[in-house]
Structure 1
Amino acid sequence: MPKNVGFLVCTLIMVMDVVAGILGIEAEIAQNKVKHLRVWIFECRDPSYQAFKLGLAAAVLLALAHTIANLLGGCACILSREDYQKATANKQLAVGSFIFSWITLVVGFTMLIIGTWANSRSRKSCGIAHNRLLSIGGIVCFVHGLFTVAYYVSATAAATDEKNRQRNPHRGPATHPPPPA
């Protein structure tokens, strides 16, 4: 892949996650504009169609950004502890950021979907207040963008390391032998 494409992919991922985060926060603002009655921790709220649309768009953008990064970043798999210890720093970083990107995806997507579902037109919700789910989900989108870009960059760097090692098999990992005594 040409070098300029990596920069464009990283920019695309960050823009999608930032837009998803802003949409999640805007959905929270739209949700707070509808009338609601609150008594202690219980709340009755009319649904907000605007918050529904914004929350759904944020969830779709978050999932799309994650999918693009994972498809274009490739697979940086480590199957055992021994593989992890033998792996290059780029591959170790790729695996760590891959795990954290999935965690942030699950948390952010779940919060956005729960907040969106609470604003569907068919529901007038009364029950325990679910405050700030959309805005917290939006903030998690920003964090997801950081981990996903870190995964993409480190996974492509690990793939480049692997290609270079296959071209020159006599060259070992990036560790250097100790100097002669």
Structure 2
Amino acid sequence: MATKGRLCMAILALDFCAGMLAIQAQAVENKAKRVAVMFLRCKDPVYRAYHLGLAAAAFLFVAHAIPYFLTGCGCIYYSRQDMDSIRASINRKLAVFSWMVFGVAFWLLLAGAMSNTKNSCWFIHFDTLAVGGNTCFIHAVITIAYYVTATAAAPEFA
């Protein structure tokens, strides 16, 4: 039980660090020099925001990988009898939702980081790093819920 609590705290800390790094990267990017030409907004690359965005994506990846490696992603391998269980159903839904939130957050963090590698001009300025950072906080809650349900359901199905 103590190990489960420590692991949940580690997942929470990693996702929190990812979110804070992404928000910090967005703040650094917002301080960059911008030029507005008619409808276009152009900006110079901000390499510090690039590095912070990549670090946030790496933290998010590790926070997502830990519970799935430790549980073996057993939600996929349940037999037909086990699918009738309410816990198995909730566990599967949390796993799918966790993967979806991870995909959105990871894509936003990488897109925000990559937008800081070269000069770019857009019609609209997107705060992809900030949105990705906030999505990391949502990912923490869902992934911890998945890990708790996966480890609680594991003794029943063994």
TM-score in terms of structure 1 length = 0.80
Amino acid at match of 1:64: V
Amino acid at match of 1:104: V
Residue matched to 1:174: none
Displacement after TM superposition at 1:78 (Å): 5.9
Q: Which residues of structure 1 form unaligned runs of 5+?
A: 164-181
What is the percent sequence identity of the aligned residues?
36
Distance 1:79 1:43, change over 3 A: farther
Residue matched to 2:148: 153
Displacement after TM superposition at 1:79 (Å): 7.0
Paired residues of 2:23 and 2:130 also in contact (CA < 8 A)? yes
What is the RMSD computed on CA atoms of the aligned residues? 1.8
Distance 1:105 1:117, change over 3 A: same
Displacement after TM superposition at 1:141 (Å): 0.4
Structure 2 counterparts to residues 135-174 of structure 1, below 5 A: 135-163=130-158
Residue matched to 2:41: 43
Task: Give the Cα–Cα distance (whole angstroms) in 2 for the partners of residues 23 and 147 of structure 1.
Answer: 20
Find the partner of 2:2 among 1, 4, 16: 4
Q: Which residues of structure 2 form unaligned runs of 5+?
A: none
Task: Give the Cα–Cα distance (whole angstroms) in 2 for the partners of residues 27 and 83 of structure 1.
Answer: 48
Cα deviation, 1:15-42, whole Å, max 9, x if unaligned, reads 1001101111111000001100134652
More helix by share: 2
Residue matched to 2:114: 117
Task: Give the Cα–Cα distance (whole angstroms) in 2 for the partners of residues 84 and 41 of structure 1.
Answer: 57
What is the count of residue pairs matched by the alignment?
157
Amino acid at match of 1:109: F
Residue matched to 1:170: none
Structure 2 counterparts to residues 1-181 of structure 1, below 5 A: 3-39=1-37, 41-74=39-72, 75-77=74-76, 86=84, 88-120=85-117, 123-163=118-158
Paired residues of 2:82 and 2:157 also in contact (CA < 8 A)? no
Residue aligned with 1:115, SS: helix
Cα deviation, 1:25-70, whole Å, max 9, x if unaligned, reads 1110000011001346521101111111110000000011101111
Instruction: Choose 1 or 2 for highest CA Rg.
Output: 1
TM-score in terms of structure 2 length = 0.91
